[in-house]
Amino acid sequence: MNEQYNHASRGTALITGANNGIGLELTRKMLGEGWQVAVLIRSAFPAGDPLITEAAASKRLRIYNADLTDFASLHQALDAIKAGESKLDLLFNNAGGSFSELSYSAQGRELHFELQTVVPYIITMELKELLLKGSAPTVINTSSNAILSVQSFDPALLERPRSFKKLFGPYAVSKLALSLWTKELAPQLAAEGIMIRSADPGGNNTLRKGKNSGLPFYIKPLMKMFFHHPSYGAGLLYNAALGRHKDQPGIFLMKDKVSGLKFSEHAPAVLSKVRDIYAQEFSAIRKSS
């Protein structure tokens, strides 16, 4: 356990998708403000960042690796986190992405849905015991303002959508589904002592050279010219966890303001779906290992 690293710090935060974009800036912000940070990432951090290098060397930054969309890989990483961390005060379910075509996970579900809706639920449930050992434990699920574009929502189509559209198709729908189950689960977690919310990090320029972003062609030049540096989105996620709304469970935040959610009547069905996947598939891995 890493208890020896915790006494002089503000607490311990776990961040997924921490090695680039908003997640990287959030990691740097948390470290800069005296937090211990554990990260769950698929690829390595960019080389040559002095803060990241120093924090990793001093164990203020602890790195766990997994392909989050592969349940076997995710299971191993979560076991490593439970063995390596004594508590968690904050959990940022931030990993995500907009893919360029209809793709499926190792378990056979649409990739956006698996990564952005199902996996955050699994991580939250698996790490709940560590959160309950933390001080004012809080979970922030990274959503998106793209959910405002969703015109129809059918929980039965989340796993295998009938059509694909960049950004405004399965990406937006899966982010809406994330915010819906967050809202539905929040009262239960609040009763146990854990606050959970979802937040839109706003428009950030997260384009990376050599990576197909899955964005519509007309968005890329707009992103380069008008979107914020990823530190902006990191600030909004940080505020979602520790700012003026810290005592409000289940809300969805846009620009640090509470916003309504479309299709809220489907929230129970979405929660039931991710709960069943966790209970029937992910838990089966634990039983067989």
Average pLDDT for 271-289: 90
pLDDT at 225: 64
Residues 120 and 270: beta-carbon distance below 8 Å: no
Percentage with pLDDT > 90 across the chain: 84
Residue 203's pLDDT band (cuts 50, 70, 90):
confident
Average pLDDT for 105-133: 98
C-alpha 146/C-alpha 117 separation (Å) is 14
Over 90: is that where the pLDDT of 205 sits? no
Over 70: is that where the pLDDT of 2 sits? no
Pick one of 3.30.565.10, 3.50.50.60, 3.40.50.720, 3.40.430.10 as the CATH number of 3-288: 3.40.50.720
Please state the φ and ψ torsions of residue 3, each to the nearest 5 degrees: -60, -30
Class of residue 242 by CB neighbours under 10 A (exposed 0-12, middle 13-18, buried 19+) = middle
The three-point CA angle 287-285-122 to 5° equals 115
Task: Copy the structure tokens of residue 135.
Answer: 């001080």
Residues 237 and 201: beta-carbon distance below 8 Å: yes
In DSSP notation, 174-191 reads HHHHHHHHHHHHHHHHHH
pLDDT tens digits for range 136-194: 999 999 999 999 999 999 999 999 999 999 999 999 999 999 999 999 999 999 999 99
Residue 3's pLDDT band (cuts 50, 70, 90):
very low
Q: What pTM did the predictor assign? A: 0.92
Average pLDDT for 208-237: 75
